[in-house]
Amino acid sequence: MLKILNKWLIKTMPILTPAGLLIGVFSGDKITYLSFLIPWIFAFITFIGSLGSNFKQLDFVIRRPSPFFISLLVLHIVMPFLAWGLGNLFFHGDSLTITGFILAVVIPTGVTSFLWATIYQGNLSFALAIILFDTLLSPFIVPASLSFFAGETVVMDVWELMKSLFFMIVFPSLLGMIINHATKGKANVLLADKLSPFTKIGVVMIVCINGGILAPYLTKLDGHLILIITTVFVISSTGYLISWCIGLFLKWERDVVMTMTFCSGMRNISAGSVLAVSFFPAQVALPVVLGMLFQQVLASVYGQLLYKYYVSKSKYLKA
């Protein structure tokens, strides 16, 4: 029953995520009292997601370093500069909104990118290597990137931010990997398969609670909000497209291009929303949370586009 529920949740996440946001927005203050649960829910999600990982999978970085480092380059250099540029172009002087765009792209790659890589037969060792390294580096990369791009315009407690990233992402990831290694994969079978549905439900809960916190900013649909939504969509979509183009230009194998597209395009947006709500004003959190509306849908769209591209290419080569 839990496996059936998990499969259903995977298919419906692109619908459940925006639905959860809408429920939170309309609930408003009635749901915000649960905000203290968000870091704990996310730590649980990260732990369960890491039970299928082990340190041996990091060997891919040694055997094939170029896709790994170029993916990190896209994640933490190309995309932050793009977000900073578009933010200043359309929201010049609005430092909080610009910081929100930057935060949305400097957070580590999304764990769900592994799921999409699995669906479209990507290179799973490559996916895990990016996810794990980016996760472990996040307490250093996120504060440093925000300080570089946002600078003096936003006040943040760097030490508290690093501690939050360690608690929500690094510690549960390492714990899951250690347990998986110690039990020789049995923990993944016994726990992850049974608890996976609850991680999807946890994501929806996080989105819902954040929607309640952001309700005052989302209930009034005006030109400013529409422009923020459009900018978030462009930034989110461009991440996938840039990675795809780089992979094709460098003539990498299909599975590597697939994986790089998902890992460089997706972000751990749930973690980003937790950080935004916990450490910044609501205006910063707004672009981050809005990213939840598009991320899973865009992953699905780009997955189909990649699949059709390689199918048509295969037919052309055979002809």
Domains and CATH numbers, the chain: 2-309 (1.20.1530.20)
Confidence of residue 293 (pLDDT cuts 50, 70, 90): confident
Query: Does residue 303 have a pLDDT over 90?
Result: no
Question: pTM (2 decimals)?
Answer: 0.76
Q: What is the DSSP letter of 170?
A: I
33 backbone dihedrals φ, ψ, rounded to 5°: -65, -15
Q: What is the pLDDT of residue 241?
A: 94
Query: Does residue 319 have a pLDDT over 60?
Result: no
Which residue would you say has higher pLDDT here, 114 or 245? 245
Measured CA to CA, the distance from residue 210 to residue 28 in angstroms comes to 9
Q: What is the pLDDT of residue 153?
A: 55
The burial of 217, by beta-carbon neighbours within 10 Å (0-12 exposed, 13-18 middle, 19 or more buried), is given as: middle
**Which tens digits make up the pLDDT trace of 149-172?**
876 555 556 677 677 777 777 788
Say if residues 162 and 145 touch (Cβ distance below 8 Å). Answer: no
> Cα separations (Å) of 258 from 120, 184, 202, 214, 310?
7, 29, 27, 34, 10
Measured CA to CA, the distance from residue 72 to residue 66 in angstroms comes to 10
Give residue 136's identity as a one-letter amino acid code: L
Q: What is the pLDDT of residue 316?
A: 57
How much is the average pLDDT of 183-211?
78
